[in-house]
Structure 1
């Protein structure tokens, strides 16, 4: 059901250090970082195990609601259908369906802001 979740932080460096130290006893560490230049938005760090980032932090204060939730899709067609349905339901576009190579070559996602401004994503990791 869920693919990953993210929260925003006011001080990225401080939060990065906090979560690195706090999550280390659980075997959770930074497995991916993406810069504002890559995302066209803000800096982000993904924490997880075995190379899969499940928990993200980002320095996006005031950009949108405080939570980012990504649901897993079984196909790119499901991502497209989500995006269309969410817009029809009153959501606001926050990233049309497409490849996000800065995460990995097959990362196909779409983003919508819900009525409260939370960033809701659906992502498919499968090729084609």
Structure 2
């Protein structure tokens, strides 16, 4: 079986209680990583580079969205500079810092990333794997 797609996920979705504000936030923040809106519905927006990979939406069941403890979503950055741009854009758009850009040796020598909490409190990350740093990939 041949598979030309290196991804392991089709997409992920985050619920929001502030749809318009969340969409404005992700428009700004994901743009730093080369992502754009690829689908737009009244209560859901999908982002990606080519196809819908990350959705922001009002919960389908009409209940309040809530944050999963221990859950976070990591986005791929193309460089250390992109990690910094993501972090700066997120903070400027109202996110809370949850880990400034930098190496995290516990994740492996190539890891360089940052963490923020979006407007609903979801933990999101941007990371760059710097192969020139050597070492094995961590988990």
TM value normalised by structure 2: 0.45
Look at both structures and tell me which one has the larger radius of gyration over its CA atoms.
Answer: 2
